[in-house]
Amino acid sequence: MPALSRPAESAPSAPSAASLPWGRHYLAVEPTHFRVEYVINPFMDPADQPDRAVAFRQWHAMVDTLRGLGAEVDVLPQRADAPDMVYAMNLGLGWVDAAGERRAVLSHMRYPQRRMETASAHAWLRDHGWRTSYVGRDGVGPHLEAGDAFAWRGDLVVGYGPRTEELALKHLATDLGVRVHGVRITHPGMYHLDLAFCPLDERRALVCPSAFDEASAQALLDLVPEPVVLTEEEALTSFCANSVVVGRTVVMPACPGRVRGLLEDAGFEVVVVDVSEFHKGGGSIRCLTNPVDLVLGRDLEPVVGGEVLLPA
């Protein structure tokens, strides 16, 4: 990939930025039926099944770690016929609206193998006081997978290409009344934005430019004042962008020494939790947890009618 220019202000900085105000309340799905049953990403191989007991222990250790850091984790039961449902990040995009009401846009999964997951998530959310909506459903309308969507500095950043379709960005912008920055994902191994982008605080995010086409990689680097840039190898072999941040603690599946140094210099503490059994399905810590405490008017800036910005 050609050299990408960085914003002038991305020089190593001393002043520490405000922590993310979201990331203290998650949904997760207990892995009672986790298997690799089909192949919808390059990591999946039905000949290499997760060890059920080890996966269960790893998942509980992850949840205990998040709770130990003060985060709330609500647990949904896994459907027996939905082996990928453990990757709760993809169930939908949740937020709290200006009136304080809990809202969620349910995902419309690209692959039919995962579509039944949202029916269960929908019922659970409704029963727990959420108002739900869809941008597409049952194969009709654009695909949206919530692992492609993050709040970033007042707007949403949404990846499209392998899973989410560009048209979904328009719906999200209008339905939430926010600005959406679209970034086109081109790397087959980083098929969701959460495999290549992780907001860390109000100025910093992990970014793996190799996941995107050149214009999108540049657009994303331009959106992040102090990007912590990951190599393709770091993002792919250690899933290190697929991490979760609670305050100043980054909970990571693995952390290459170089990345740890950058994070610690920026005032973060790194906690590594092994969720290797889940890598067999193509997801890690972020995929297993879905943050639902975004607040419209705090983390997302209302924009009348919504707006989509795509890289040139």
Residues that bind ligand ARG (CB under 6 A): 40-41, 44, 84, 87, 89-90, 114, 147, 192, 194-195, 281-283, 287
SS3 letters across 118-149: HHHHHHHHHHCCCEEEECCECCECCCECHHHE
Nearest to ligand ARG of 33, 192 (CB atom): 192
Instruction: For residue 81, count other CB atoms closer than 10 A to its CB.
Output: 12
Instruction: For residue 133, count other CB atoms closer than 10 A to its CB.
Output: 14
Shortest distance in whole angstroms from residue 111 CB to ligand ARG: 7
CA 289 to chain centre: 8
Distance CA 77, CA 74 (A): 10
Distance CA 185, CA 148 (A): 10
Nearest to ligand ARG of 40, 105 (CB atom): 40
- Distances in Å between the Cα of 257 and the Cα atoms of 198, 216, 230, 264, 270 are 18, 27, 12, 10, 11
Nearest to ligand ARG of 90, 306 (CB atom): 90
Shortest distance in whole angstroms from residue 227 CB to ligand ARG: 20
Distance CA 240, CA 200 (A): 13
Nearest to ligand ARG of 91, 263 (CB atom): 91
Token output for 241: 């962008």
Distance CA 141, CA 305 (A): 20
Shortest distance in whole angstroms from residue 102 CB to ligand ARG: 21
Nearest to ligand ARG of 69, 93 (CB atom): 93
Nearest to ligand ARG of 17, 44 (CB atom): 44
List the beta strands (DSSP E) in 190-282: 197-199, 204-207, 226-229, 244-246, 249-252, 269-272
Shortest distance in whole angstroms from residue 90 CB to ligand ARG: 5
Shortest distance in whole angstroms from residue 38 CB to ligand ARG: 9
Shortest distance in whole angstroms from residue 23 CB to ligand ARG: 15
Nearest to ligand ARG of 110, 171 (CB atom): 110
Burial class (CB in 10 A: 0-12, 13-18, 19+), 49: middle
Nearest to ligand ARG of 50, 177 (CB atom): 50
- Distances in Å between the Cα of 276 and the Cα atoms of 117, 135, 301 are 23, 33, 37
Distance CA 204, CA 307 (A): 24
Shortest distance in whole angstroms from residue 193 CB to ligand ARG: 8
Shortest distance in whole angstroms from residue 281 CB to ligand ARG: 4
Shortest distance in whole angstroms from residue 194 CB to ligand ARG: 5
User: Is residue 284 within 8 Å of residue 28, measured between CB atoms?
Assistant: no
Nearest to ligand ARG of 87, 152 (CB atom): 87
